[in-house]
């Protein structure tokens, strides 16, 4: 089957009115990725070399987004919504290229996995003309039933047309199917619209193929794989299922999740073995964590690279471009953005490091900030190896602190500090004996007078 060519036709033209959103339904995200992109990834993993997206509502936005996750995909617009077969035929130009297999999928089924699609393709390789993917929902009410005889699929019966015996069938239509490319257009063109809605139904090709003596079979996927998204509640349900799968996979690969149900991954999170993740950690897109790292509770991480044996959090925020090298530490209530924290460097508490390099072994004191933005442009701060930045220091970029440089606490640094130099950048302290008592008495007297005046006014 590996040598068979495959086209995936993904139907993504629905308006999704029940989502109550201006955004096309299939662009709503699961794990930080549009749900239609999950479908594309599953198709590609099942061997699809071509992707045809049938779009409608929000076509321009769909094309723009599709260019990011499926740059080679062809898009076809379904101008009028006249049924599922009509939608597939919109991709006639792609289907006619002569693929061996054609997978028909829906952009709102983000949990479909490659194995379910590969199983349907395998049936085509074995000689079937059509392989319909079915599933067994907890309650089959409302779903079309798959009617089988002697191991062959003879019909897909909508519930309103089912006999009482057929209504008891628990094997239902998931909507997705694989069709042999040699028969696809002939079967689709034979679909009529003589029904109450005057629409062209993809399910009709089952009986059409059977009438032509072609082999039609059903394969089975799990209920979760077939879950379609129609509203925000179902979107949340799909997100929960996806997260549960990913957490399980992470733990089996050697990652410790102390409270798995509180950790959220993105579609592309990479996390190494022997990493420990404490409760309530959120991984946004673009995160890579090497082995042996420790991510403490309530940390928020996106677009960041964390090397082996790093220590992050609790309550740390790593923004895009954060690059922590081996054994680096970013502690509680620290934010790092577009900055390299080199090997063994420590950014321990209450600190902002942006557009910067913190050299190996450097220590950044509590309350330090890199002042990297003047309202118009960003500027770079370079902190050398082994530098010590005292607490509550402001490093006004562009500025360089040399290797071994020492910045006194409370300093505002605006000029280069040479290697091993000590820099002060603060006002000189002045102490006036007894002045504190005098001020307290003056302020207390003023407050009492103000209170007395307020009482007199009433």
CATH number, domain of 282, equals 2.160.10.10
pLDDT digits (tens, 9 = 90+) for 324-342: 999 999 999 999 999 999 9
Tell me the C-alpha to C-alpha distance, in Å, between residue 83 and each of 13, 14, 80, 201, 204.
11, 11, 9, 5, 11
If asked whether residues 23 and 127 sit together in one domain, one would say: yes
Strand 422-423 and strand 406-407: pairing? parallel
Same domain membership, residue 391 and residue 348: yes
Residue 257 lies in a domain: yes
Model confidence over 88-128: pLDDT tens digits?
Answer: 999 999 999 999 999 999 999 999 999 999 999 999 999 99
Out of 200, 220, 240, a domain closes at 220
**Residue range(s) defining the domain that contains residue 295:** 232-423
The predicted pLDDT at position 57 comes to 77
What pLDDT does residue 458 have?
64
Q: Do 216 and 236 reside in the same domain of the chain?
A: no
**What is the reported pTM?**
0.88
Domain count, the chain: 2
| pLDDT of 158 strictly over 90 | no
Region 294-303: mean pLDDT is: 98
Q: In this structure, are 30 and 121 located in the same domain?
A: yes
What's the CA gap between 56 and 157, in Å, rounded?
28
| Within a domain: 448 | no
Within-domain flag for 298:
yes
Mean pLDDT throughout 276-304? 98
Look at residue 132 and tell me whether its pLDDT is greater than 70.
Answer: yes
- 28, 38, 296, 349: which one is catalytic? 349
User: Are 288 and 353 found together in one domain?
Assistant: yes
**Residue 440 counted as domain residue:** no
450 within some domain? no
- 200 domain-assigned: yes
Shared domain for 177 and 197, answered yes or no, is: yes
Q: Give the per-residue pLDDT at 17.
A: 86
What is the Cα–Cα distance from 108 to 131, expressed in whole angstroms? 20
CATH number at residue 132: 3.90.550.10
Residue 456 lies inside a defined structural domain of this protein: no
349 has catalytic annotation: yes
In the predicted model, is pLDDT for residue 186 greater than 60? yes
Assess if residue 315 is contained within a domain. Answer: yes
- The residue out of 168, 199, 220 marking a domain boundary is 220
Q: Of the residues 183, 199, 220, which one is the last residue of a structural domain?
A: 220
């Amino acid at each position: 089957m590996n040598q068979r060519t495959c086209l995936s036709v993904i139907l993504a033209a629905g308006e999704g009115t029940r989502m109550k959103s201006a955004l096309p339904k299939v662009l709503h995200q699961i794990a930080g990725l549009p749900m239609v992109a999950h479908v594309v990834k599953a198709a590609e993993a099942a061997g699809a070399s071509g992707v045809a997206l049938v779009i409608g509502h929000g076509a321009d936005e769909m094309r723009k987004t599709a260019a990011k996750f499926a740059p080679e995909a062809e898009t076809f617009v379904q101008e009028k919504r006249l049924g599922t077969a009509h939608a597939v035929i919109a991709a006639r130009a792609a289907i006619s290229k002569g693929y061996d297999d054609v997978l028909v999928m829906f952009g709102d089924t983000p949990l479909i996995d490659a194995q379910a699609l590969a199983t349907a393709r395998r049936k085509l390789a074995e000689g079937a003309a059509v392989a319909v993917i079915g599933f067994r929902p907890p309650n089959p009410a409302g779903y079309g039933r798959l009617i089988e005889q002697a191991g062959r699929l003879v019909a897909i019966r909508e519930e309103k047309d089912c006999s009482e015996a057929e209504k008891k069938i628990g094997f239902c239509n998931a909507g997705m199917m694989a069709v042999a490319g040699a028969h696809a257009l002939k079967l689709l063109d034979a679909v009529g619209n003589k029904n109450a809605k005057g629409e062209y139904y993809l399910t009709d090709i089952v009986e059409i193929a059977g009438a032509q003596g072609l082999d039609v079979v059903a394969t089975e996927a799990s209920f979760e794989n077939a879950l379609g998204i129609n509203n925000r509640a179902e979107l949340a349900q799909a997100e929960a299922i996806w997260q549960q799968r990913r957490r399980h996979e992470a733990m089996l690969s050697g990652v410790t999740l102390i409270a798995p149900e509180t950790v959220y991954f993105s579609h592309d999170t990479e996390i190494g073995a022997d990493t420990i993740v404490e409760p309530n950690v959120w991984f946004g897109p673009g995160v890579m964590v090497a082995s042996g790292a420790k991510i403490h509770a309530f940390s928020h991480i996106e677009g960041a690279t964390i090397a082996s044996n790093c220590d992050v959090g609790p309550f740390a925020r790593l923004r895009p471009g954060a690059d922590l090298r081996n054994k680096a530490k970013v502690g509680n209530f620290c934010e790092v953005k577009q900055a390299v924290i080199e090997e063994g460097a420590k950014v321990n508490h209450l600190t902002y490091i942006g557009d910067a390099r913190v050299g190996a072994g450097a220590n950044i004191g509590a309350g330090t900030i890199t002042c990297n933005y003047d309202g118009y442009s960003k500027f770079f701060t370079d902190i050398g190896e082994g530098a010590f930045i005292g607490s509550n220091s402001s490093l006004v970029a562009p500025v360089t602190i040399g290797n071994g440089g020492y910045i006194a606490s409370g300093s505002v640094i605006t000029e280069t500090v040479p290697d091993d130099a000590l820099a002060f950048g603060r006002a000189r302290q002045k102490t006036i004996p007894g002045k504190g008592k005098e001020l307290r008495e003056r302020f207390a007297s003023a407050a009492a007078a103000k209170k007395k005046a307020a009482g007199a006014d009433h």
